[in-house]
Structure 1
Amino acid sequence: MSKNRRIPFGYMMQNGMITTNPAEVLAVLTIFSEYMVGKSLENIAINMKIPYNEDKIWNKNMVKRVLENEKYLGTNVYPQLICEEVFKKVNERKSAKATSLCIIPDELREIRNLTVCKECGKRLFRTKAELWDCRNHECRPFLFKMADEMLTGAILNILNTVIANPVLIEAVATVSEYIPTSEIRCKQSEIDRAIDNGTKTAEEIRNDILRLTEPKYKHCTYSDVNQKTELLKSLIDSRNQLNTLDIGLLRSCVKRITVSHSCVIEAEFINGVIIKNETERSNDNGSGSKCKDNPCKAENNGSTSSAEKG
């Protein structure tokens, strides 16, 4: 297990004195120069050839700490590695970049934490233009513009549908189920034959049964779906239709939200039931795609049923 560095990257202890580490100094200078030409913290981290500490792999937080470390300007203990002008420019650039980042409201941050792309499963990206999209380079961008109001409206619609129609979140599951493997069935048959034919002593049969107990137990499944369904019912029981999104209710009821490239938003509730808010795309006024709300649908164990909005 690697230890945390006590001496900043770029330095080392030699004969009881802190001095420069030539290989690490070169890496520090590379980090500053790469950031100055516009490379991201993550990109710099990926391309680092020298380990940060023993076998510890670089990440963007480590790069950020290097860029912010004022010890590189020189102190009574630490030799100077970076001139004041370069250090100032780098940190001015970093501060300007930080202030230009999209500031997302708390409500939308909660939604973003739950929302992923239906196709690739990666978290969605929200732009400064208040639009949502999939930025996974292995996936593809949305075919429509997904604005804040569309996403929050669809989620609100789903919650109101469930409040008006609690039957949509019904999910019945077997609490406990035992599914033996072919190996377990084979060993059980051997035990049964030994009992019928008397080919083993009672002590040997008892030991065989005890040895088979553990693998049998491992293949017993337990489902808490019924408990979670009852919890959902208690959370929405007697609730009035929502005029605005209730983030607390959303967090308690919904495990995940997915958005597909074809304008379908789904909420997977904590008991596994999926409610869809389907929308149809149109090209009115030639201004690009927009979505219109349709009734929600509930899915449970592969079945789908329609429900009118409440």
Structure 2
Amino acid sequence: MSVDVSGVTRWYGNVVAVNDVTMTLPPGVTGLLGPNGAGKTTLLHMIAGFLPPSRGTITAAGQRTWRNPDLYKVLGLVTEKEAVHGFLTGEQFVVASARLHRLPEPERAAARALDLVELADPRKRKLSTYSKGMRQRARLAAALVHDPQVLLLDEPFNGLDPRQRMQMMTLLHDLGNRGRTVLFSSHILEEVEQVSGTVQVMVAGRLAASGDYRTIRRLMTNRPHVFAIDSSDNRRLAAVLIGDPSVRGVSLGEDGLEVSASDFGTFTRVLPGIVRREGLRLRRLRPADESLESVFSYLVGAK
């Protein structure tokens, strides 16, 4: 079951949260990657039918998502904001979800979902006694209790320890392999790499890049980089670097050099040889533009 987003824009007054986004989500796992404030949550809420697009259309299995309660027969959602009642047991929480879906055997459906997320043993414990990761899996069980074909998760790895993250990743892998359409958001590329083969990159409300994670990683690695360098003779090093094909520009300041390299990999391979040949010593070498915002802004410009 595929999800189709076509020319979707969402604005709040004069603020454009999502800007002309088009994508198709096939069965399998897709990562929605972008910095905080990129519009990921707004897009997920529109796909889930919580918000109407200001312009454009969103369909799941050919059905419009806005004002379509029947959509929830085939769709599950785990929001970023945690909202669970601590006085309920894990079992009661998931059974309540099953009853909201009017399943004929809510207890059996809940047991199946809890077993799927490996919470069968602590199901009788109150949610208030669960760890962050356990509560996250309980919320996932509630979203899976009706066996949806489409699953949406907003930052599902937030607050999880390494073991819990691996459990979540394995579960999403399995759901995708079983033909479910899974879309999860994240601001960390490594999370997306380990779970999904397909990546949709958003920044400032726009779709900046789309493809498999190897393509996205290549775009990020091969983009121009800026390095802050300090050596035993900055003027001499600047004179040599400016003539190297891997360097786009060099500026000399009181704190050292700022070097703009055309390719991260080439420059980092060339620099040690230059330093040795010139008899110099490096005191500092660090990327000066490694923030997520700078990386995603480059992707927008490269689109």
Instruction: Give the TM-score normalised by structure 1.
Output: 0.24
Structure with greater strand share of residues: 2
Q: Kindly indicate whether structure 1 or structure 2 has the higher relative contact order, using CA contacts under 8 Å at least 6 residues apart.
A: 2
